């Protein structure tokens, strides 16, 4: 095999690079402004309430954090499982993972009621809390993936690459397990109390992370006028197909278990049949856009070599994934908690027994989108400063 | 009776928790863990472990249309609405129920149930939610970061997030924008030796006497005696949280 040369990414002309970066900067600035507005006025200016306490920013944050772990897949396959085709892409995989996690965490932190107390969150730990564990898992992820990147880029420490690669692999599995367990531990709510949540989040991360990876890889090679071979892309595409199928399988298993358990029929009915917008998001967003369309684009012989189809499939996976998390996070809260089994709530001073509505507001969306912009900015700057992308990836 | 899937699956919690703990512990020096030593001890100063405070609510006596307890709680703690019911703080709320089978209607009030095993305390990342040694569950508002995880975890929807800046606060309850709060069992009164909550007092003044506050650990207290001689229930007893608030005639 010929030797790989890595080079900093110059996106055609400097103007092209800097204007791209400026655009991202504007998006981030708008997001920060939105966060300030929400913080300054208090959360009543958002769509969140005392019934729906986690809103659109959480959907973005969880989506990005889950994707971050998955983005590291390619590096893991390359150095842990020894896939030579994936190895040259390992550096970019690490960079993207760090970027996505940073974006997700920014959104999460800026949506806290007291973001100014971040230092409390970093110094006071309740070790029974999955959230506290996640703080450690997230910060650890930055450190481990940072070192991992170092072992990939610096030849003098390259001998540690495999060991660090293993550590990073286990760490990220723990990270997504932790993220899924945020929900899996909530016994009070019918939608969440399920052990399957953790593995489901792990597999979701594989799928979303790879989709992000493929899209941004194609974009970077177009921008940088570099060669990206079909063979490698087809491999990635096939892998994505497997992950999308696996997410579909877990969705099926999750819903079937709930259907088996009589007490959970209420929430199932709500999501699958009469939950209004959540039902639509489930069928149209999660199932049709997120599973069926990408599987068709990936496996249909008509699109065998089509780069367009690969990109479209990845975008569909991301859109579907976003809806999936929306349905889990918001749909799960909108469905009323069953406090009084066997009784019907005739009157309540606090919306007992009622499906709650949640309408996200513009500032929440702006903050969420800024999280994606943070991820892309880190990638753009990282790829420009470090030797991340191979000169060419022709077959 | 067994409502299997709604039981808190402690084994599972332990298993997942253990797996995560093991991974985390690899990199965290054991010394760091010491640092987390129980905060609730200091915050509980003044509380006495001999007591366990609780309430008993008689749903037969809770009168239709009455809001005396809710009003008293709001006044006592300076809770004011902003005309936006979905985001206003609610510490105590009336609920009217109808049995699907028998059609029998009752009314009761819901508030923080002061669980013996409070899920809100388990999930709170910063130890802001804590249980005093006398069983009262509180939020330390200097430590709360407003993540709302406790609200996700509380099975009774007992907690409110403060959605806007507050003015004219009551000295009885320091509160703050961006933090979470809930019924304190009138802890300021308890610590002053006044053994009557604001809601109980108002309910009695109205002539209903549906609320009884007292020490569950003291066999001679009125609440203990009533609990011993009657058939009270816990709401969502299947969760095994051993609540400090109990209900009669539900
Ligand atoms: S009722 Fe809710 S807020 Fe109160 S102690 Fe139990 S879990 Fe915590
Ligand atoms: S909102 Fe405050 S009290 Fe509730 S879990 Fe978060 S930090 Fe703890």
How far, in Å, from the CA of B158 to the mean position of ligand 1? 6
Domain-embedded: residue A59? yes
Domain-embedded: residue A395? no
SS3 B143: coil
pLDDT band per the 50, 70, 90 thresholds, residue B37: very low
Q: How many domains does chain A have?
A: 1
Separation of alpha carbons A229 and A239, rounded Å: 16
Q: Does B57 touch chain A (CB under 8 A)?
A: no
User: Stretch B203-207: mean pLDDT, rounded?
Assistant: 97
pLDDT tens string B217-238: 999 999 999 999 999 999 999 9
A42:B28 CB<8 A: no
How far, in Å, from the CA of A305 to the mean position of ligand 1? 57
Q: What is the DSSP string of A84-106?
A: TTTGGGHHHHHHHHHHHHHHHHH
Distance from chain centroid for Cα A289? 17
Separation of alpha carbons B153 and B241, rounded Å: 12
Q: In this structure, are strands B160-161 and B245-248 parallel, antiparallel, or unpaired?
A: unpaired
Integer distance in angstroms from the first to the last C-alpha of chain B?
Answer: 17
In this structure, how many other beta carbons lie within 10 angstroms of the beta carbon of residue A351? Answer: 18
Cβ contact A314:A303 at 8 Å: no
Low-confidence ranges of chain A (pLDDT < 50): 1
Q: Which of A171, A187, A344 sits opposite B119 (nearest CB)?
A: A187
Label each residue of A234-268 as H, E or C: HHHHHHHHHHHHHHHHHHHHHHHHHHHCHHHHHHH
Q: Given its phi and psi angles, is residue A276 left (phi above 0), alpha (psi -120 to 50 degrees) or beta?
A: left
Domains of chain B: 1-36 (no CATH), 39-248 (3.30.70.20)
Domain-embedded: residue A339? no
- Please give the DSSP secondary-structure letter assigned to residue A45: G
Domain-embedded: residue A346? no
Domain-embedded: residue A375? yes
How far, in Å, from the CA of B45 to the mean position of ligand 2? 21
In this structure, how many other beta carbons lie within 10 angstroms of the beta carbon of residue B227? Answer: 18
Cβ contact B246:B116 at 8 Å: no
A185:B98 CB<8 A: no
Q: What pLDDT sits at residue B4? A: 38
pLDDT band per the 50, 70, 90 thresholds, residue B201: very high
Q: What pLDDT sits at residue B48? A: 86
- Using CB atoms within 10 A of its CB, is residue A152 exposed (0-12), middle (13-18) or buried (19+)? buried
Q: Which B residues in the span 74-133 are in contact with A, Cβ-Cβ below 8 Å? A: 82, 84, 86-90, 93-101, 105, 107, 110, 119, 121-127
Domain-embedded: residue A342? no
pLDDT band per the 50, 70, 90 thresholds, residue B45: low
Which distant-in-sequence residues (6+ apart) come within 8 Å of B105 by Cβ? Answer: A346, B96, B97, B98, B99
Tell me the two tokens of residue B82.
Answer: 């902003």
**Which H/E stretch holds residue B223?**
helix B222-229
Tell me the two tokens of residue B35.
Answer: 């640092």
Backbone angles phi, psi at B181, to 5 degrees: -145, 165
Q: What pLDDT sits at residue A195? A: 82
Q: Could you tell me the residue range of the domain that residue A215 belongs to?
A: 10-334+360-387
Backbone angles phi, psi at B106, to 5 degrees: -135, 170
Q: What pLDDT sits at residue A3? A: 67
A135:B160 CB<8 A: no
A140:B97 CB<8 A: no
Q: What is the ipTM of this complex?
A: 0.92
Q: In this structure, are strands B53-58 and B245-248 parallel, antiparallel, or unpaired?
A: parallel
- The chain-wide mean pLDDT, for chain B, equals 86
Cα dihedral across residues A262, A264, A266, A270: positive or negative:
negative
Which distant-in-sequence residues (6+ apart) come within 8 Å of A57 by Cβ? Answer: A107, A108, A110, A111, A364, A367, A368
Is the per-residue pLDDT at B21 higher than 70?
no
The b/e string for B57-91 (b: 16+ C-beta within 10 A; e otherwise) is bbbebbeeebbbbbebbbebbbbeeeeeebbbbbb
Furthest-apart CA pair in chain A: how many Å?
Answer: 74
Cβ contacts from A onto B, under 8 A: 228
Is the per-residue pLDDT at B12 higher than 90?
no
Domain-embedded: residue A49? yes
Is the per-residue pLDDT at B155 higher than 90?
yes
Q: What pLDDT sits at residue A10? A: 76
List the beta bridge partners of residue A390: A6
Q: Which residue of A has its CA nearest to B92?
A: A349
Distance from chain centroid for Cα A387? 25
Packing angle of the helix pair A130-153, A161-184 (nearest 10 deg): 160
Scan for tokens 């010929």, then name that residue.
A2
Domain-embedded: residue A349? no
Cβ contact B59:B65 at 8 Å: no
Q: Which residue of A has its CA nearest to B119?
A: A186
- Please give the DSSP secondary-structure letter assigned to residue A12: S
Q: Which of A133, A348, A352 sits opposite B20 (nearest CB)?
A: A133
Separation of alpha carbons A350 and A43, rounded Å: 18
Scan for tokens 């990005």, then name that residue.
A64
pLDDT band per the 50, 70, 90 thresholds, residue B148: very high
Q: Which of B23, B33, B89 sits opposite A127 (nearest CB)?
A: B33
Q: What pLDDT sits at residue B44? A: 57
CATH number of the domain to which A250 belongs? 1.20.1630.10
SS3 B172: coil
Distance from chain centroid for Cα B80? 20
Helices assigned H by DSSP within A89-196? 90-110, 118-123, 130-153, 161-184
How far, in Å, from the CA of A299 to the mean position of ligand 1? 50
């Amino acid at each position: 095999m010929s030797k790989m040369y890595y080079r900093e990414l110059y996106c055609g002309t400097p103007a092209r690079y800097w204007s791209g970066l400026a655009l991202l900067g504007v998006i981030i600035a708008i997001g920060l402004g939105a966060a300030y507005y929400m913080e300054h006025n208090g959360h009543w200016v958002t769509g969140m309430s005392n019934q729906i306490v986690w809103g659109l920013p959480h959907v973005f944050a969880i989506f990005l954090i889950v994707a971050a772990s998955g983005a590291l897949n390619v590096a893991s396959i390359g150095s842990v499982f020894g896939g030579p085709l994936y190895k040259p892409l390992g550096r970019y995989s690490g960079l993207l993972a760090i970027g996505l996690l940073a974006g997700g965490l920014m959104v999460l932190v800026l949506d806290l009621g007291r973001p100014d107390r971040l230092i409390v969150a970093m110094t006071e730990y309740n070790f029974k809390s999955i959230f506290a564990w996640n703080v450690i898992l997230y910060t650890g992820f930055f450190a481990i993936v940072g070192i991992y990147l170092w072992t990939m880029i610096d030849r003098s420490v390259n001998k540690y690459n495999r060991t660090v690669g293993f550590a990073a692999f286990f760490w990220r599995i723990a990270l997504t397990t932790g993220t899924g367990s945020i929900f899996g531990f909530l016994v009070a709510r019918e939608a969440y109390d399920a052990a399957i949540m953790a593995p489901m989040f792990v597999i979701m991360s594989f799928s979303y992370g790879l989709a992000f990876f493929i899209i941004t890889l194609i974009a970077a090679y177009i921008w940088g006028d570099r060669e990206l071979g079909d063979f490698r892309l087809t491999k990635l595409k096939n892998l994505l197909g497997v992950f999308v199928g696996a997410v579909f399988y877990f969705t099926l298993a999750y819903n079937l278990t709930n259907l088996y358990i009589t007490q959970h029929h209420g929430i199932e009915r709500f999501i699958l049949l009469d939950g209004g917008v959540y039902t639509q998001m489930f069928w149209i967003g999660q199932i049709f856009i997120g599973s069926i369309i990408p599987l068709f684009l990936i496996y249909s012989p008509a699109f065998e070599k089509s780069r367009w189809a690969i990109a479209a499939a990845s975008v569909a996976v991301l859109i579907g994934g976003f809806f999936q998390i929306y349905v889990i996070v918001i749909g799960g809260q909108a469905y009323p908690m069953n406090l009084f089994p066997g009784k019907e709530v005739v009157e309540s001073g606090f919306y007992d027994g009622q499906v709650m509505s949640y309408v996200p507001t513009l500032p929440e969306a702006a903050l969420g989108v800024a999280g994606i912009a943070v991820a892309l900015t880190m990638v753009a700057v990282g790829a420009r400063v470090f030797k991340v992308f191979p000169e060419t990836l022709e077959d | 009776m067994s409502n299997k899937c709604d039981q808190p699956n402690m084994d599972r919690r332990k298993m997942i928790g253990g797996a995560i703990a093991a991974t985390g512990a690899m990199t965290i020096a054991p010394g760091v863990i010491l640092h987390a030593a129980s905060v609730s001890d200091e915050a509980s100063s003044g509380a006495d472990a001999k007591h366990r405070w609780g309430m008993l609510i008689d749903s037969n006596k809770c009168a239709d249309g009455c809001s005396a307890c809710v009003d008293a709680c709001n006044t006592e703690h300076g809770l004011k609405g902003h005309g936006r019911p979905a985001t206003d703080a609610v510490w105590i709320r009336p609920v009217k129920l109808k049995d699907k089978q028998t059609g029998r209607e009752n009314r009761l009030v819901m508030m923080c149930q002061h669980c013996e095993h409070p899920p809100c305390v388990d999930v709170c990342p910063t130890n802001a939610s804590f249980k005093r040694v006398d069983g009262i569950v509180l939020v330390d508002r200097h430590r709360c970061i407003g993540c709302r995880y406790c609200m996700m975890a509380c099975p009774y929807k007992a907690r409110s997030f403060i959605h806007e800046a507050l003015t004219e606060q009551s000295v009885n309850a320091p509160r703050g924008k961006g933090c979470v709060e809930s019924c304190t069992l009138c802890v300021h009164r308890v610590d002053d030796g006044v053994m009557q909550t604001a809601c109980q007092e108002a309910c009695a003044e109205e002539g209903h006497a549906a609320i009884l506050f007292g020490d569950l650990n003291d066999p001679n207290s009125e609440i203990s005696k009533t609990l011993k001689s009657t058939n009270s229930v816990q709401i969502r007893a299947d969760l095994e949280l051993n609540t400090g608030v109990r209900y009669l005639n539900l």
